[in-house]
Amino acid sequence: MKFFIDTANLKEIREAAGWGILDGVTTNPTLVAREKAPFADLIREICRAVPGPVSVECVAADAGPLVEEARRLAGLAPNVVVKIPLTREGLKATRTLSQEGIGVNTTLIFSTAQALLAAKAGSRFVSPFIGRLDDISQEGMDLVREILAVYENYTFQTEVIVASIRHPRHVIEAALLGAPVATVPFSVLDKLFHHPLTDIGIENFLKDWGRAVK
């Protein structure tokens, strides 16, 4: 399972990269806006910090401008993957960009039909937003299960990124389903370390080590 970090914060990215478990980054306009840094410089810096794919979102609406914007973003660094929402225009742009060798992460996926369209258009990644489905009382992980089952029937190269993750259980459920990628906010990545019995165990071992004959 690949771990991406869902943030545009360089400190968080560098910290997680230092743990040796980071395979990529996903950003979106909301995350970028939080950083108050010049956009292109920020993306270049993120791409230098992590060798894996860095998803950067396009905001144009029509296919022509989307393709232009995506080419510009892809020119920022070799590991940029462009994020394009699943719309008719987005799909047209995805086909063109995929044929040019520019990786597309189809974002804002909320149905299996959308994920099927994205795979047909040649997307490198699809991002089902499970937390946002949970927020409206739908089981987000059911969507991931269904997309994976559909992809299993064919030879699509598209990888599912489980996105909009809210807590460690989401990460475990994604792993149980065999999802190839989870994109995880820093706060959730950090929580994956914690278990009170680990803390108590370390404390007790240290105490006992103090009493050991050395």
Catalytic amino acids?
83
Residue 104 Cβ vs ligand E4P, minimum distance, rounded to whole Å:
13
Q: What is the dihedral of CA 148, 170, 188, 165, to 10 degrees?
A: 60
Q: Is the dihedral of CA 104, 126, 39, 41 positive or negative?
A: negative
| Spatial separation of the C-alpha atoms in residues 160 and 212, rounded to whole Å | 50
User: Nearer to ligand E4P by C-beta: 131 or 180?
Assistant: 131
Please state whether 193 falls in left (phi above 0), alpha (psi between -120 and 50) or beta.
alpha
Binding string, residues 66-105; x marks residues near ligand E4P by CB under 6 A: ----------------------------------------
Residue 36 Cβ vs ligand E4P, minimum distance, rounded to whole Å:
18
Q: Any contact of residue 131 with ligand E4P (CB under 6 A)?
A: yes
Please state whether 90 falls in left (phi above 0), alpha (psi between -120 and 50) or beta.
alpha
Residue 61 Cβ vs ligand E4P, minimum distance, rounded to whole Å:
19
| Span near ligand E4P by CB under 6 A; candidates 42-50, 89-97, 125-133, 202-210 | 125-133
* C-alpha closest to that of 183 among 24, 49, 57: 24
How far, CA to CA in Å, does 112 sit from each of 1, 84, 149, 150, 176? 21, 17, 10, 8, 19
Residue 37 Cβ vs ligand E4P, minimum distance, rounded to whole Å:
17
User: Nearer to ligand E4P by C-beta: 67 or 83?
Assistant: 83
Task: Write out the binding residues for ligand E4P, residues 158-187 only, by CB under 6 A.
Answer: 163-164, 183
Burial of 203 (0-12, 13-18, 19+ CB in 10 A): exposed
Binding string, residues 4-23; x marks residues near ligand E4P by CB under 6 A: --x-----------------
Give me the residues that bind ligand E4P (CB under 6 A), please: 6, 26, 28, 107, 127, 129, 131-132, 163-164, 183
